[in-house]
Chains A and B, each alone.
Chain A
Amino acid sequence: MNILSLTRFQPVLALLMLAFSLAAHSDPETVSQPWQQALNSLAQGSMAEREQAIMQLADIKDAHNLTILQALLDGKLFTTKTDAKLVIGTDNQQGFTISDAVSGADLGAVEHDALSKINLTNKMRGTLRKIIGELELSADDPKVRLAAVKAMAKEADDRVLTLLRERADKEPDEAVRQAIKVTLLLQDMDSSDKATRIMAIEALKTKNSQEVANRLNTMVEKDENGEFIEPDEDIRNLAKAALININNRLQLYSSIETVFFGLSLGAVLVLSAIGLAITFGVMGVINMAHGELMMLGAYTTYVMQQLMPNHLGISVLLAIPAAFVISALVGIAIERGIIRFLYGRPLETLLATFGVSLILQQSVRSIFSPLNRSVATPEWMSGSWQINDFLSLTWNRFYILVFCLLVFVLLLQILKRTRLGLEVRAVAQNRKMAKAMGIPTARVDAMTFGLGSGIAGVAGVALSQITNVGPNLGQAYIVDSFMVVVFGGVGNLLGTLVAGFSLGIANKFLEPFAGAVLAKILVLVFIILFIQKRPRGLFPQKGRAADS
């Protein structure tokens, strides 16, 4: 029904679309006369005229050429039978879903026999491939150019090589130029001239490319008869040396990657432990609800995204202060309501705050459902930073690492330079003396606890970007974060940082040998043993405060 009515109104629609496409091409330079003519002859002309039209299109620079020619090559370019309009169609069983070839506007669905395909000869296909490559190679986006080079490298023939050689000299982007060079050098390895080959291997030795490694590998291997695939021994030895060179670098990069993963895991640990380092380390309060304060931060991110679904990036950024405030307020409430009655009784504090954590968990479960909530990652945080073929770093991990360091520095500055920080340190060192000096200790306690809790909330925002947001989020991190604080030495912020990063890196280096779970267990066992040896952590506090 739908399809029928559409076909009936096609002329009207087409007219509308024409008007639309004209409006879209109001720029006189884009809708150039020869371009339109070429398209027309492509649509209606004879085979010879078509061929000419393709060449013409190649000469005219137009942003739409690439899509049209690619569709033509893929057999997706059609003309409508009713008004001979150029459309791009995709087969959807019952018919075609078509869009205007020029404007890209969606034209709905039509039956199969409403369109006629623009046929090509094999020769034309060859020309088309070349033109498309050329077009992509001169595209404005370096990513498209890079993809084009990689695609062309797969079916490199003389024509492509000339094209690449021409491009190599004028290519402005370093990565693309390197890719072109690698492709050309790989070709040189097949050359009949030994000197060229040697030069190619020597040059390729320094390139970080999986393809080069693969190609060199085939040169040193034996075939099934035990004969070397590469007959020339000099070349073989050179290839071997080059391969060792490349593998060394590969190893180096993979260690760098492991260190990066370790640092990012460490960043998560540090973020989750740093708030604890304040409440536990500075105040000496065991807050088992710390994980749930992180969970609140993560849910704040979720709520912020629900509030503004169209501004993912901004919502995540706004979630940071919001999570800080919410978690800090909840933390202050816990301190005023429960913890202040239990100062000096750490075991009781532990139990009471554990009760709080259960209540917070169940509240979230009742309000948001026990299922995990998905928090979207903004675009600038997804994807990865491809440094070379061997090394790529994911953006979200990278940002969390940066974020962790920022939070840490900020916290350190607050403690060192602000009035609050001074008071916090004073109360931590000697409560009675501080009180005698007129510091309102009760208020400082509340503020300190609020600060630690707020940072937990901020950590929750970061966690929401890498794990599932659910009621159990906090529990998963509470043991880890206590371990980090204790390992680093209670009351020592820098110790927490070092401990978090070293545990993260240790974990990631163990993982390839032991598997993720066993690595975690090993690290836990290590810490348990470490605490036996040095009960005060890596960097114990010195002086009188340490005795209490």
Chain B
Amino acid sequence: MKLLTLASQDKTCTTVLMLLAAVTFIIPLCNMLTPVGSPLHFSAYTVSLIGKYLTFALLGMSLDLVWGYCGILALGHGAFFALGGYAMGMYLMRQIGTRGVYGDPLLPDFMVFLNWKELPWYWFGFDNFGFALLMVVLAPGILAFVFGWLAFRSRVTGVYLSIITQALTYALLLAFFRNEMGFGGNNGLTDFKDILGFNIQSEAVRSMLLLLSGLSLIGAFLLCRWIVNTKLGRVVTAIRDQESRVRFLGYRVEMFKLWIFVFAAMLAGVAGALYVPQVGIINPSEFTPLNSLEIVVWVAMGGRGTLYGAIIGAVVVNYGKTVLTGLMPEIWLFTLGAVFIVITLLLPEGIVGLLRRKLKEQHA
């Protein structure tokens, strides 16, 4: 109950939640109840697209937790997303079984192609869905923990931290490009067939994935909302505003930062795991520094430090991307670049800030 009252304090926030719930439930419902071809039936493309936006929104929100509330501008957040995606991709690869091009019961196609004789140790267990789910949160979580523990303990802050997070994702990008890593190299993991025994291409599974993405997003939103309003959340926000003062008050700043960083990385991993089955591929390009910077733009565009702003930003920017790359591919980067500049110069509080200002003017 307390959660809902918290949410209802802000009108925009309620609207966003309502819209989210509507999208999450109505689309799968429509697709279940109406036959193909009916005007209320959404195409497989639309369903996947909206599902994808929802996972991006989750990703954006997780970055907002780190950047908007804790003031850590992480330029490598996409790495956690990609790791979660790879964990899910590995499970999906194992599900292919003998249906691969080479028909090897154990080894994925690319390993047969590389003349590998046995499965590398880190692929064991991924035929189990539960284990894969565990890895979806653990892999990014552990990386974030190790990285964060080293970085926050030695008080690397500001742009230095931004740059080394970027270096982190860049190093991972290079590593995952290598065939020897055993993650499919350049091509990544793809050609998925089943998830939990159901055909991944089928409409019901797609609707289900959308539903799951929506539910995770709403759940994560409420959870994050709760976290930022707990004492821990307050301290984290205080760290953002005056790090040294919080430290002098006796708080162990690095522990708070680490906690929030790891949690956000896990959320990003979940987003990645939901993203991969819906787009059907995961490859090293997810690690490119540009991808991580795009996430930052979503959050900045929506308005950081609000959580739902990140959701709005992710959907708006990605919708713009889909439309623009469809119409004129050249225009997209110009627009993205302009968005970066305009937001930082003119709209530091993003869309949410703009809406709030408008609302205030109306009240006055």
Interface footprint category on A: 35 or more
The interface bits of chain B over 325-364 (1 if a CB of A lies within 8 angstroms of the residue's CB, else 0) are 0000010011011111101110010000000000000000
Q: B333, A517: Cβ atoms under 8 Å? A: no
Question: Measured between C-beta atoms, what is the minimum distance from A75 to chain B in Å?
Answer: 48
Which B residues, 147 to 166, have Cβ-Cβ distances below 8 Å to chain A? Answer: 147, 150-151, 153-156, 158-160, 162-164, 166
Q: B155, A535: Cβ atoms under 8 Å? A: yes
Q: Does B51 contact A (CB under 8 A)?
A: no
Q: Does A117 contact B (CB under 8 A)?
A: no
CB-contact partner of B340 in A354, A479, A525, under 8 A: A354
Q: Which residue of chain A lies nearest to B334 when distances are taken between CB atoms in the complex?
A: A362
A528-B168 contact in complex given A341-B345, A351-B296, A486-B160, C-beta closer than 8 Å? yes
Question: Measured between C-beta atoms, what is the minimum distance from A485 to chain B in Å?
Answer: 9
Q: How far is the CA of A84 from the CA of B308 in the complex (A)?
A: 94
CB-contact partner of B150 in A358, A366, A532, under 8 A: A532
A366-B330 contact in complex given A517-B178, A521-B171, C-beta closer than 8 Å? yes
Q: How far is the CA of A479 from the CA of B163 in the complex (A)?
A: 8
A521-B175 contact in complex given A358-B333, A479-B170, C-beta closer than 8 Å? yes
Q: B171, A352: Cβ atoms under 8 Å? A: no
Q: Does A524 contact B (CB under 8 A)?
A: yes
Q: How far is the CA of A363 from the CA of B164 in the complex (A)?
A: 28
A518-B178 contact in complex given A527-B167, A535-B154, A535-B156, C-beta closer than 8 Å? yes
Which A residues, 503 to 537, have Cβ-Cβ distances below 8 Å to chain B? Answer: 517-518, 520-521, 524-525, 527-529, 531-533, 535
Contacts of B290 in A (CB 8 A): 475
Q: Which residue of chain B lies nearest to A485 when distances are taken between CB atoms in the complex?
A: B163
Secondary structure of the B contact surface, majority rule = helix
Contacts of A532 in B (CB 8 A): 150-151, 153-154, 156
CB-contact partner of A358 in B153, B175, B340, under 8 A: B340
Q: A347, B162: Cβ atoms under 8 Å? A: yes
Q: How far is the CA of A351 from the CA of B74 in the complex (A)?
A: 12
Contacts of A357 in B (CB 8 A): 337
Which B residues, 73 to 94, have Cβ-Cβ distances below 8 Å to chain A? Answer: 73
Q: How far is the CA of A521 from the CA of B167 in the complex (A)?
A: 9
The interface bits of chain B over 289-311 (1 if a CB of A lies within 8 angstroms of the residue's CB, else 0) are 11001001100100000000000
Q: Does B174 contact A (CB under 8 A)?
A: yes
Q: How far is the CA of A363 from the CA of B338 in the complex (A)?
A: 13
Contacts of A263 in B (CB 8 A): none
Q: B334, A533: Cβ atoms under 8 Å? A: no
Contacts of A355 in B (CB 8 A): 336-341, 344
Q: Does A234 contact B (CB under 8 A)?
A: no
Question: Measured between C-beta atoms, what is the minimum distance from B182 to chain A in Å?
Answer: 14
Question: Measured between C-beta atoms, what is the minimum distance from A98 to chain B in Å?
Answer: 51
Q: How far is the CA of A363 from the CA of B337 in the complex (A)?
A: 11
CB-contact partner of B300 in A349, A351, A518, A531, under 8 A: A351
Q: A524, B296: Cβ atoms under 8 Å? A: no
The interface bits of chain A over 25-42 (1 if a CB of B lies within 8 angstroms of the residue's CB, else 0) are 000000000000000000
Q: How far is the CA of A357 from the CA of B150 in the complex (A)?
A: 31
Secondary structure of the A contact surface, majority rule = helix
Contacts of A529 in B (CB 8 A): 150
Contacts of B171 in A (CB 8 A): 520-521, 524-525, 528
Q: Does B69 contact A (CB under 8 A)?
A: no
Contacts of B159 in A (CB 8 A): 286, 346-347, 350
Contacts of A350 in B (CB 8 A): 73, 159, 162
Question: Measured between C-beta atoms, what is the minimum distance from B148 to chain A in Å?
Answer: 11
Contacts of B293 in A (CB 8 A): 351, 354
Q: A342, B154: Cβ atoms under 8 Å? A: no
Question: Measured between C-beta atoms, what is the minimum distance from A237 to chain B in Å?
Answer: 44
The interface bits of chain B over 131-156 (1 if a CB of A lies within 8 angstroms of the residue's CB, else 0) are 00000000000000001001101111
Q: Does A373 contact B (CB under 8 A)?
A: no
Which A residues, 331 to 368, have Cβ-Cβ distances below 8 Å to chain B? Answer: 338, 341-342, 346-352, 354-359, 361-363, 365-366
Q: Does A73 contact B (CB under 8 A)?
A: no
Question: Measured between C-beta atoms, what is the minimum distance from B214 to chain A in Å?
Answer: 29
Q: Does B177 contact A (CB under 8 A)?
A: yes
Q: A479, B333: Cβ atoms under 8 Å? A: no
Q: B154, A517: Cβ atoms under 8 Å? A: no
Q: A358, B336: Cβ atoms under 8 Å? A: yes
Contacts of B164 in A (CB 8 A): 486, 527-528, 531
Which A residues, 68 to 97, have Cβ-Cβ distances below 8 Å to chain B? Answer: none
Question: Measured between C-beta atoms, what is the minimum distance from B69 to chain A in Å?
Answer: 14
Q: Which residue of chain B lies nearest to A365 when distances are taken between CB atoms in the complex?
A: B330
Q: How far is the CA of A479 from the CA of B159 in the complex (A)?
A: 13
Contacts of B147 in A (CB 8 A): 528
Q: A482, B334: Cβ atoms under 8 Å? A: no
Q: B163, A486: Cβ atoms under 8 Å? A: yes
The interface bits of chain B over 162-200 (1 if a CB of A lies within 8 angstroms of the residue's CB, else 0) are 111011101100110110000000000000000000000
Contacts of B337 in A (CB 8 A): 354-359, 362
CB-contact partner of B345 in A338, A479, A520, under 8 A: A338
Q: How far is the CA of A91 from the CA of B193 in the complex (A)?
A: 60
Besides the known contacts A357-B337, A521-B174, 13 further A-B residue pairs in the complex with CB atoms under 8 A apart: A350-B162, A352-B340, A359-B334, A362-B333, A475-B289, A479-B170, A482-B163, A517-B174, A517-B175, A517-B177, A521-B175, A531-B156, A531-B164
Q: Nearest 6 pairs between A and B by C-beta?
A: A355-B340, A358-B337, A359-B337, A362-B333, A355-B337, A524-B171
Interface CB pairs A-B, < 8 A, 21: A341-B345, A342-B344, A347-B159, A355-B338, A355-B339, A355-B341, A355-B344, A357-B337, A358-B333, A358-B334, A359-B333, A359-B337, A362-B333, A362-B337, A486-B160, A517-B174, A527-B164, A527-B167, A528-B147, A528-B168, A532-B153
